[in-house]
Amino acid sequence: MSISENLNRIRNSLPEHVTLVAVSKTKPVSDIMEAYNAGQRIFGENKVQEMTEKWEILPKDINWHMIGHVQRNKVKYMASYVSLIHGVDSLRLLKEINKQAKKANRNIDCLLQVHIAEEESKFGLDASELSEIITSIKSGTLSNIRVLGLMGMATFTDDDHQIRKEFQNLKSLFDKTKNVVSECSILSMGMSGDYQIAIEEGSNMVRIGSRIFGRR
Ligand SMILES: *Cc1c(COP(=O)(O)O)cnc(C)c1O
């Protein structure tokens, strides 16, 4: 199957309220252009430098989503163009994004990454850190960022029951966050292997790579 066939098959299977982020990390610009020519405009990358190199040469109506872990010293390279940063997991990072957004004279949209998987990972907030960061945002002065929602990744496992439980956990944190953060509307969960479960559990943004572009 070609990239455009994969893309169309997935798009046709997604409910209308679900946004597709085509995850193009490690893939060449020719693959991105094939998806672009099939109508895709939102692409996800997990490295700032790679994303910036692609942004420079590809059509400017592409929306670039940073889905990976972000180091604070890399924010400046994408501040002028990034359309959504999914992986915000500290107040320090959020403050740096705000600072760089101000310099670039724009607002930057962000999602807070929550750690829901059973696997050990350095990345993502737990429930209490999430509520702390939301309290700071609400009382704070971060005028150039908007927190539009939450992002999370389920455990890499064949156990659908466990994946479902983790997504339910994130959905419930999302609902709580929505109650206190008015612009919170995006729930980014679901990848190639688990996006159907994620949508059943309330996702409205899926990040799909290998099912579109093939193995990495
Ligand atoms: C790579 C990646 C994806 C896409 O993974 P696939 O299994 O190829 O669909 C989604 N989200 C994040 C955060 C990723 O790093």
Task: Write down the mean pLDDT value for the chain.
Answer: 96
Query: By C-alpha distance, which of 67, 52, 60, 58 is closest to 20?
Result: 67
Amino acid identity at 164: R
Where does the chain show beta strands of DSSP type E?
A: 19-23, 42-45, 63-66, 84-88, 108-115, 145-153, 186-189, 205-208
- Per-residue pLDDT at 129 exceeds 70: yes
Cβ count near 186 (within 10 Å): 20
To the nearest 10°, the Cα dihedral for 117, 123, 124, 126? 70
- Give per-residue pLDDT as tens, 139-188: 878 999 999 999 999 999 999 999 999 999 999 999 999 999 999 999 99
Query: By C-alpha distance, which of 35, 41, 43 is closest to 9?
Result: 35
Q: Which two tokens stand for residue 198?
A: 């994620």
Q: Residue 55 sits in a domain of what CATH number?
A: 3.20.20.10
- Ligand 1 atom 11 nearest Cα: 207
- Per-residue pLDDT at 121 exceeds 80: no
What is the reported pLDDT for 118? 85
- Per-residue pLDDT at 122 exceeds 80: no
Boundaries of domain holding 9: 3-213
Pocket test for ligand 1, best of 6, 14, 27, 46 (most atoms within 8 A of CB): 46
What is the reported pLDDT for 141? 85
Cβ count near 136 (within 10 Å): 13
- Ligand 1 atom 13 nearest Cα: 67
Catalogue the long-range contacts made by 95-100 (C-beta closer than 8 Å, 24 or more residues apart).
Answer: 95/142, 96/72, 97/145, 98/142, 98/143, 98/144, 98/145, 100/75, 100/76
- Give per-residue pLDDT as tens, 14-53: 999 999 999 999 999 999 999 999 999 999 999 999 999 9
- Give per-residue pLDDT as tens, 62-97: 999 999 999 999 999 999 999 999 999 999 999 999
Cβ count near 73 (within 10 Å): 9
Amino acid identity at 30: S
Query: By C-alpha distance, which of 1, 2, 8, 24 is closest to 216?
Result: 24
Ligand 1 pocket list (CB less than 6 A): 23, 25, 46, 67-68, 153, 191-193, 207-211
Total tally of structural domains belonging to the chain: 1
- Give per-residue pLDDT as tens, 99-118: 999 999 999 999 999 999 98
**Which residues have a Cβ under 8 Å from the Cβ of 66 and sit 6 or more positions away?**
44, 45, 46, 48, 51, 78, 82, 84, 85, 86, 87
Residue 162, judged by CB atoms within 10 A of its CB (0-12, 13-18, 19+), counts as middle
Instruction: Indicate the SS3 state at residue 142.
Output: coil
Centre of ligand 1 from the C-alpha of residue 19, in Å: 15
Centre of ligand 1 from the C-alpha of residue 103, in Å: 30
Pocket test for ligand 1, best of 207, 211, 213, 216 (most atoms within 8 A of CB): 207
Q: What percent of the chain has pLDDT over 70?
A: 100
Cα–Cα distances (Å) from 82 to 65, 156, 165, 204, in that order, read: 6, 28, 32, 20
**Section 182-209 average pLDDT:** 98
- Ligand 1 atom 7 nearest Cα: 192
